[in-house]
Structure 1
């Protein structure tokens, strides 16, 4: 494996050996190490000193179920701190086939000379992106596949990234060649846009998966892991209902974001539930599918494909819980077709549905739309796509929108919008939102299934700390959170897989050690960027405004928040 550097200003590339201090890291952890070693934490996120890093996880590249994700990292224009956003699809797997430990995009062109970076065994080539500019990701991906062939992997940005909007992400094509897997959070699409790169095309024709040091041991570990995943009861639930199963759970405990986080229950939750979504997809048939794999080899298949009422045209794939929560109940919208339409529009612009759903909720409180008005929500997305003044405000996220229109109830932490779990009702997750170096992000340590009362402020620090450590480890392995169905049963599986693939000699606690190291690196970057304990807080209004139906506020003490990483 090698480090590939691409200078976007000089349009040159360099292939280097892996520094020893980077060798045992991957994914999120490797991205953090590179940023801390090479990027000035005080730099302008959209300036030439920032770097955009594509880092496959340590277990990526071997078609293990849920373990082929790509981590994309850089300094976030949204939070001002370190950022890692990961995604499924083909990007991570295909990079490993070229022996790429990390792909690092450096510098920035002086002129708006938009390019497509083509990567293959022959090296790096810059092609013009002129014919793809302004296109949504669906049309652009189709054109790129037509130009470069159907077997390539593609990571690309939409109009949101081209306009450097802070809600923009980086879309990745899935196994079906659809650009549906977005590294959504933190505005990394804007970082890619700042380097005037529309797309990265990865051509691995004739290349094999990366070598395995001990094939027999790998086969044994793979069997152990796969058996654990298949035996886990949640595997069946997620295969049948996907993440939309969380609607009933979150609404049931009063944590469903409703009308800009003003309530934890939605009166029409049943109409947008996992049960209703599954029923609708089965009724429509055709292109609709209740179970779908975003990565080749996944046996959980928690994704879905939503077809239109005739089952002939795909509205969107996937429709996940986070989008249902932020673009459904959070906007007072109770129609799955309308939510799917909003999801598809946001995908095509290349923007984060969590960030934009939260921004639209703030906009509704500012009087720019009525809660429940799906058509007006769609019109506002069109404003974003067109880059109108209002669209640019919304496209820069919830915090920016709140400041522009003087709204106090803005659900963000470190400037990043909260996912669809209200932290007043799930206080361990609130601790994660407040203290994670990444800003509000459920994938950095969701605690909804922790063995503590979710509304009790006591005991939440420990469950958040453990969840944050594990998730930082998962992200460094290239693991989807669903991989926990296998790994969480027996953490020794991680060490066995790592040792057999890489020839390391790590122990059963490697996942946690990897997670701890990653968090230390990220916190150090943020410290150098100027973050203090005061940044590890939730908005003050959440400590004053009770959340129905339990009428709870976020009351984990500052002292407890400050103690999360003391041990």
Structure 2
């Protein structure tokens, strides 16, 4: 277990053992506790005092399936608070395979300097000149890096948006097909990477230096039980391979909770044209691929490969949140346009969610018409060129609202909401409001409770408690490196026991029944502590007023929970 510290100011690289206070942490747990301890709260997110941390999960690099999640952490230039952005693909496995617990990028390169962090399969690390890659988009860059370093590499890189410092800039990671289509999208961490002077992180795959286990055979036996639980669960074993996350579109639209036309309606006219069912049919008819494995060691196969009418690759994976942000919010119902928008975001290095909502706000303000797909494509190209309007759009919906003096801006802490309107899913509104990360779709998404009939999505009753409990659980899950989409397997008692057995087999320590809950609370408390040091207060834990005042068709509800109820969410 080791930390790699790379100082961009003096270009020094140091390797040391993991400090004792970080033992037992991985993923979000590690990024959040390290940022809280080592980064000044009031620092400039794009300055030398911020740190950028790449941390695979606690179980990444092991024989356990679906542990290819990488946490990227920093102070966010978008929210002004702490940020963990989570990405799949191949990078977590590549880093963990070399026995690296975290890569910590510190300091700041001189203006105009650009480097490639290169980690070889023998564990050697270098900072290579990257100035020849300046301005490149991610797909062309990845191809060039493969020519330079060989095919067997994993890449995490930024596009023009990250170099410009756009606060919607993503870090794009390669999938199993070597496409840079997996995004650590939320919070503008691509801008932090660009400010540090890093164009790409390149790590050899197939490393044989992973941390040793106490009992490998016991781990493998427990991992097999957990994998079977994933396959047996109806969601991860049947729905995801068939339709991917896009299966949610029809269900959420039917609930009247699909925020569209910049969150003025809860149902999209023509939604069936971009539904999960039509998406799968279109992909299969054109010779694309559903039930695609996008991340190393995935058995859920939620990914897809979308191709055009000639069978040529367009993007992977076209997921629910992007179908909403590039479809529902701007009112676009053309799958080919949405797929192209998704590709451009990946290629330019942009969070599809924050960017799609920015486009929706601009259209609502009268800049372009709802449903104008060509206009949306042109707006993305404006960002790529770094024009005046492009930079406004690249900084996200809050910046667009300010520019156009438009008040309907669906953000919390300047980060866009996700594909569930808080008036139609009251508990998701609690999560948007109180999440340490700004409005978030992974921190405590209660869609499962609504679809399962456990909660009434339109009633305020029980929503705050449900959001609190799920936020704790998700923080703990993000520590492990497990994909949230297979979290349903933990409904199986055998899988819960298997997870504990794997912790014991790897570390020689038997976890207690409340350890997972306590870990989640520990992570959330560290994140709240950092946000307080950064100047965020309870007044930042609020939805925009229009959610409380404007009823959402078709059920005509507003957000119903009080400020006092929101302020009590973290009373644990």
Residues matched between the structures, number: 564
Cα distance, 1:134 vs. partner?
A: 0.9
Give CA deviations for 1:409-448 in whole Å, capped at 9, x if unaligned: 1010111011111111111111000001001111001001
Q: Separation in 2 of the partners of 1:397 and 1:427? A: 24
Which runs of structure 2 are paired with 1:262-281 in the superposition (5 Å)? 262-281=264-283
Cα distance, 1:512 vs. partner?
A: 2.0
* Cross-structure match for 2:8: 8
Q: Separation in 2 of the partners of 1:448 and 1:489? A: 19
State the TM-score, normalized to the length of structure 2. Answer: 0.97
Distance 1:7 1:329, change over 3 A: same
Q: Separation in 1 of the partners of 2:432 and 2:502? A: 31
Contact 2:66 2:482 in 1 (8 A): yes
Choose the corresponding residue for 1:493, options 495, 498, 506. Answer: 498
Q: Separation in 2 of the partners of 1:206 and 1:218? A: 19
Q: Separation in 2 of the partners of 1:422 and 1:401? A: 20
Choose the corresponding residue for 2:255, options 248, 253, 256. Answer: 253
Does the alignment pair 1:341 with 2:340?
yes
Q: Separation in 1 of the partners of 2:133 and 2:547? A: 43
Q: SS at the partner of 2:521?
A: helix
Q: Separation in 1 of the partners of 2:136 and 2:230? A: 39
After superposition, the CA RMSD in angstroms is 1.2
Does the alignment pair 1:294 with 2:294?
yes
State the TM-score, normalized to the length of structure 1. Answer: 0.98
* Cross-structure match for 2:18: 18
Does the alignment pair 1:138 with 2:143?
no
Contact 2:6 2:14 in 1 (8 A): yes
* Cross-structure match for 1:162: 163
Contact 1:411 1:418 in 2 (8 A): yes
Does the alignment pair 1:504 with 2:506?
no
Give CA deviations for 1:204-256 in whole Å, capped at 9, x if unaligned: 56524432211232122112201111110112111100000010111010111
Contact 1:26 1:58 in 2 (8 A): yes
Contact 2:94 2:207 in 1 (8 A): no
Q: SS at the partner of 2:119?
A: strand
Q: Which runs of 5+ in 2 are unaligned?
A: none
Which 10-residue stretch deviates more, 135-144 or 477-486? 477-486
* Cross-structure match for 1:203: 204
Cα distance, 1:43 vs. partner?
A: 0.4
Q: Separation in 2 of the partners of 1:208 and 1:18? A: 16
* Cross-structure match for 1:424: 423
Which runs of structure 2 are paired with 1:387-406 in the superposition (5 Å)? 387-406=386-405
Q: Separation in 1 of the partners of 2:86 and 2:414? A: 19
Choose the corresponding residue for 2:483, options 477, 480, 485. Answer: 480
Q: SS at the partner of 2:3?
A: strand
Does the alignment pair 1:531 with 2:530?
no
Q: SS at the partner of 2:187?
A: helix
Does the alignment pair 1:81 with 2:86?
no
Distance 1:293 1:206, change over 3 A: closer
Contact 1:64 1:298 in 2 (8 A): no
Q: SS at the partner of 1:185?
A: coil
Q: SS at the partner of 2:188?
A: helix
Cα distance, 1:131 vs. partner?
A: 1.9
Q: SS at the partner of 1:441?
A: coil
* Cross-structure match for 1:119: 119
Which 10-residue stretch deviates more, 79-88 or 202-211? 202-211
Does the alignment pair 1:27 with 2:27?
yes
Q: Which runs of 5+ in 1 are unaligned?
A: none
Distance 1:93 1:264, change over 3 A: same
Q: SS at the partner of 2:84?
A: strand
Distance 1:446 1:6, change over 3 A: same
Contact 1:67 1:483 in 2 (8 A): no
Cα distance, 1:122 vs. partner?
A: 4.5
* Cross-structure match for 1:434: 433
* Cross-structure match for 1:331: 330
Contact 1:328 1:339 in 2 (8 A): yes
* Cross-structure match for 2:53: 53
Give CA deviations for 1:433-484 in whole Å, capped at 9, x if unaligned: 0001001111001001221100101110111011101111111111111121
Contact 2:93 2:296 in 1 (8 A): no
Q: Separation in 1 of the partners of 2:485 and 2:512? A: 22
* Cross-structure match for 2:368: 369
Does the alignment pair 1:562 with 2:563?
no
